[in-house]
């Protein structure tokens, strides 16, 4: 039977204390650098050492996120931080960057690595590749259903999100913040463009206007958790390094109860109401339980909704009269749902408009927000609950004592936590002249563990009759043992092994030709006439028609559940799997190559050509190529996206309920930027509002092949664009 782990987030030390006290099996945190939640407080190196010691004392594992794409000039600092974490005793490092995963596995073979959700494991093939690389665990894509997860019969640990915020796009595939604000979600700088309103149009006809069309509800799997407990999932992960310590504490306690009781004796309605006041955007079971994409969205409100507690039944400029169906207390926070106005209830009045601390039926509050209309009232902050949660429950470590107290022999006391066994020897046990000590008294003194983190589950005593042992000696020996056990537990860590990694040159053949990606047959025919050396086609039907042409490659859809089985004769691929199984694969920009080590290990794995990340500047691309050549003594075979719409988001399902393969839809934001969008029968694609267009083209053509991606261009436009790049 799988031993399940409850893994919870901590954005600061206060949240870490909440997580540990409330029963987490493991906690994940971020450093001040190289983590995917830059906006969180995060942990300094000194705090990380403290966090490791605290977690290990209570038998809790600590994982540190190093889950960003790394640039060449950052590799040294990245490895320095990794080595610090390893030597300090972290239990695992969570990573995204493929090159860094491979390099760290070779350099630090005894350091456990988990492949982040940003690494986008959405298939058995990807999980199997990470397993072969020596990765201990994969954090599976949130888009995977429970049945799909069960089908991943790979001997690798599976980690799954069970609660918290959802990304609308596949993790690692979202470039929205990067393209719009130069803030890369792959580097921890997501600006949250999915939480903004959009208008959906077909041509110029408005289908939905000013709705939060990309904003998801909060994942909450508690009501169907038994199905997860019956699975082979190793780790149940809660999202929320940006959430409050009280939120972390409550969610940890909630899921601890669910796991320990196997979902029995849980008052789900009451607990869910508390969850709603702490944070929710509406709750969903998400893709885990095959929910339709429309059930995952909250198009009306992108922020914390709170718990609905009543409605406005009267109001004037001074007061708002509320009819309650849940308790409201002074210092609670409320929000009026439709107006989205809210405040802290500093003064609460009863039905007679007299000040009161609490109300359960009719009450009044001051109209501090100039509310004009009757509205639904939601509690967004529960003062009593948050005050209660600030008091941490004691977490105790069960230990056992064994005492040997035989007359004229040294007193022996042993202590065990089930893993560590310690023994201390005292003075010789004496015969009692007038005040013998019995087993009950010995047990009582040893089990006086007070403020220590321990609690005794048993004390076994073997003693002679009529003996004397000073109480002071028992106390001193108990303190000595518990102090020593505390230090052993706090300082537990793996052996650190550091290898000197030598990367042998992999022969690559540099190519500098012009390539194109097309969506329809007309575009393909034009590119053929223009003698484009290689043409990628985006549809299976079109590939099958032209597959006998040597210059035709199939662009494999991203995030396939079975990429290896979906390959055609020649392929452009965006997902990680064992490329060594084929010799006809070209790596697309979805592989997120931002440093020379990722390129090196991809060549080693079997790719012949690699497309660099579209998040790199042209200057960074040139620097990358020169750096690779200097380091590995061979020029890399690189492809660069020169022209076309970059795919900002890839989303599972028909998000916008639009017609399949109809390329006339667009999303428009408040700045009137228009994003082309289409549904391919499986996923929704959102393209950038403007086309990528290289400026240093003449320089780049010396080092790499250039790709042009045509979406809606006609013959004249294609000819003009090709000419400008030849």
**Residue 423 CB partners (closer than 8 Å, separation 6+):** 412, 413, 414, 415
Phi, psi of 591 (to 5 degrees): -75, -5
**507 within 8 A of 526, measured Cβ to Cβ:** no
- pTM reported for the whole predicted model: 0.96
Two tokens, residue 331: 């210092």
Q: Which of 343, 214, 224 is nearest to 284 (CA)?
A: 224
Phi, psi of 556 (to 5 degrees): -65, 130
Residue 36: predicted pLDDT: 60
Which sign, positive or negative, has the C-alpha torsion 339, 343, 345, 348? negative
Using one digit for the tens of pLDDT, what is the confidence trace for 593-649? 999 999 999 999 999 999 999 999 999 999 999 999 999 999 999 999 999 999 999
Q: What is the CA radius of gyration of the chain?
A: 31
Q: Which of 386, 344, 384 is nearest to 246 (CA)?
A: 386
**Residue 149 CB partners (closer than 8 Å, separation 6+):** 140, 158, 160, 231, 233, 288
Domains of the chain: 5-166+218-262 (3.20.20.70), 307-389 (2.40.30.10), 397-490 (no CATH), 514-725 (3.20.20)
Phi, psi of 530 (to 5 degrees): -85, 10
**22 within 8 A of 252, measured Cβ to Cβ:** yes
Tell me the β-bridge partners of 552. 535
Two tokens, residue 506: 């992999």
Question: Could you give the CA distance from residue 580 to residue 605 in angstroms, rounded to a whole number?
Answer: 5
Residue 37: predicted pLDDT: 67
Residue 1: predicted pLDDT: 60
Q: Nearest 5 degrees, angle CA 44-CA 95-CA 168?
A: 100
As a whole number, the mean pLDDT across the chain is: 96
Q: Span 384-404, mean pLDDT?
A: 97
Contacts 24+ apart (CB under 8 A), 518-522: 518/542, 518/710, 519/663, 519/710, 519/711, 521/545, 522/715
**11 within 8 A of 188, measured Cβ to Cβ:** no
Residue 265: predicted pLDDT: 87
Q: Span 204-210, mean pLDDT?
A: 97
Question: Could you give the CA distance from residue 539 to residue 522 in angstroms, rounded to a whole number?
Answer: 13
Which sign, positive or negative, has the C-alpha torsion 205, 208, 213, 219? negative
Percent of the chain, pLDDT > 70? 99
Q: Span 520-541, mean pLDDT?
A: 96
CA distances from 108 to 65, 72, 89, 104 (A): 16, 19, 13, 5
Give the DSSP H/E element, type plus range, for residue 401: strand 397-405
Using one digit for the tens of pLDDT, what is the confidence trace for 337-389? 999 999 999 999 999 999 999 999 999 999 999 999 999 999 999 999 999 99
**Is 726 exposed, middle or buried, given 0-12, 13-18 or 19+ CB atoms closer than 10 A?**
exposed
Using one digit for the tens of pLDDT, what is the confidence trace for 548-600? 999 999 999 999 999 999 999 999 999 999 999 898 899 999 999 999 999 99
pLDDT band at 693 (very low <50, low <70, confident <90, very high): confident
pLDDT over threshold 80, residue 6: yes
The DSSP 8-state label assigned to residue 356 in this structure reads -
Using one digit for the tens of pLDDT, what is the confidence trace for 105-156? 999 999 999 999 999 999 999 999 999 999 999 999 999 999 999 999 999 9
Residue 38: predicted pLDDT: 66
Q: Which of 515, 658, 499 is nearest to 586 (CA)?
A: 515
> Among 31-35, 284-288, 647-651, 683-687, whose mean pLDDT is lowest?
31-35
């Amino acid at each position: 039977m799988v031993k399940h782990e409850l893994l919870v987030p901590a954005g600061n030390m206060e949240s870490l204390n909440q997580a540990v006290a409330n029963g987490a099996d493991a906690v994940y945190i971020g450093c001040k650098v190289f983590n995917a939640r830059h906006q969180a407080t995060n942990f300094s190196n000194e705090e990380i050492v403290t966090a490791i010691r605290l977690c290990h004392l209570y038998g809790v594992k600590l994982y540190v996120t190093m889950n960003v794409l790394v640039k060449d000039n950052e590799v040294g600092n990245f490895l320095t931080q990794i080595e610090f974490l390893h030597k300090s005793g972290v239990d695992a490092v969570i990573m995204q960057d493929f090159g860094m995963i491979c390099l760290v596995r070779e350099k630090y073979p005894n350091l456990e690595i988990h492949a982040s959700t940003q690494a986008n494991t959405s298939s058995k093939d990807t999980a199997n590749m990470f397993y072969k690389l020596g990765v201990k665990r994969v954090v599976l894509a949130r888009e995977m259903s429970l049945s799909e997860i069960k089908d991943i019969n790979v001997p690798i640990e599976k980690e799954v999100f069970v609660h918290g915020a959802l990304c609308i796009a596949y993790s690692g595939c979202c470039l929205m913040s990067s393209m719009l604000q130069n803030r890369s979600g792959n580097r921890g700088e997501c600006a949250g463009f999915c939480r903004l309103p959009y208008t959906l149009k077909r041509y110029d006809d408005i289908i939905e206007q000013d709705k939060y069309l990309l904003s998801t509800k909060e994942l909450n799997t508690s009501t169907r958790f038994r199905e997860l407990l019956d699975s082979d999932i190793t780790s149940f992960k809660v999202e929320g390094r940006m959430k409050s310590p009280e939120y972390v504490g409550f969610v940890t306690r909630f899921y601890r109860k669910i796991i320990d009781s196997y979902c029995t004796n849980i008052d789900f309605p009451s607990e869910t109401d508390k969850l709603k006041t702490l944070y929710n955007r509406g709750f969903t079971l998400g893709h885990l339980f095959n929910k339709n994409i429309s059930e995952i969205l909250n198009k009306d409100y992108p922020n914390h909704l709170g718990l609905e507690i009543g409605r406005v039944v009267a109001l004037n400029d001074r007061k708002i009269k509320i009819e309650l169906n849940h308790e409201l207390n002074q210092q609670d926070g409320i929000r009026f749902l439709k107006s989205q106005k809210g405040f802290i209830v500093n003064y609460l009045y009863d039905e007679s408009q007299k000040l009161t601390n609490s109300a359960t039926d009719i009450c009044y509050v001051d109209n501090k927000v100039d509310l004009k209309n009757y509205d639904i009232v939601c509690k967004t902050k529960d003062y009593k609950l948050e005050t209660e949660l600030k008091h941490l429950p004691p977490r105790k470590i069960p230990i056992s004592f064994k005492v040997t107290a035989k007359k004229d022999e040294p007193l022996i006391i042993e202590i065990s936590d089930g893993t560590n066994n310690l023994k201390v020897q005292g003075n010789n046990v004496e015969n009692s002249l007038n005040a013998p000590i019995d087993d009950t008294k010995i047990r009582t003194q040893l089990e006086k563990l007070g403020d220590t983190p321990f609690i005794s589950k048993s004390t076994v005593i073997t003693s002679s009759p009529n003996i004397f042992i000073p109480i002071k000696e028992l106390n001193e020996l108990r303190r000595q043992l518990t102090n020593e056990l505390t230090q052993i537990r706090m300082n537990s860590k793996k052996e650190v092994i550091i290898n000197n990694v030598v990367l042998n040159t992999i022969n690559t053949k540099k190519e500098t030709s012009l390539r194109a990606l097309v969506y329809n047959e007309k575009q393909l025919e034009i590119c053929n006439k223009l003698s484009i050396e290689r043409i990628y086609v985006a549809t299976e039907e079109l590939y099958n028609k032209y597959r006998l042409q040597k210059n035709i490659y199939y662009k494999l859809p991203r995030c396939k559940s079975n990429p290896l089985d979906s390959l055609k004769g020649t392929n452009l691929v965006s997902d990680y799997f064992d490329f060594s199984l084929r010799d006809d694969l070209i790596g697309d920009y979805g592989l997120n190559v931002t440093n020379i080590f990722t390129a090196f290990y991809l060549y080693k794995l079997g790719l012949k050509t690699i497309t660099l990340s579209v998040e790199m500047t042209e200057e960074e691309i040139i620097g990358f190529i020169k750096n690779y050549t200097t380091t590995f003594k061979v020029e890399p075979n690189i492809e660069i996206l020169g022209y076309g719409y970059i795919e900002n988001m890839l989303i599972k399902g028909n998000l916008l309920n639009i017609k399949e393969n109809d390329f006339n839809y667009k999303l428009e934001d408040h700045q009137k930027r228009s994003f082309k969008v289409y549904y391919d029968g499986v996923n929704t694609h959102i393209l950038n509002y403007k086309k990528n267009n290289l400026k240093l083209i003449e320089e780049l053509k010396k080092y790499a092949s250039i790709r042009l991606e045509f979406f809606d261009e006609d013959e004249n436009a294609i000819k003009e664009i090709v000419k400008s790049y030849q």
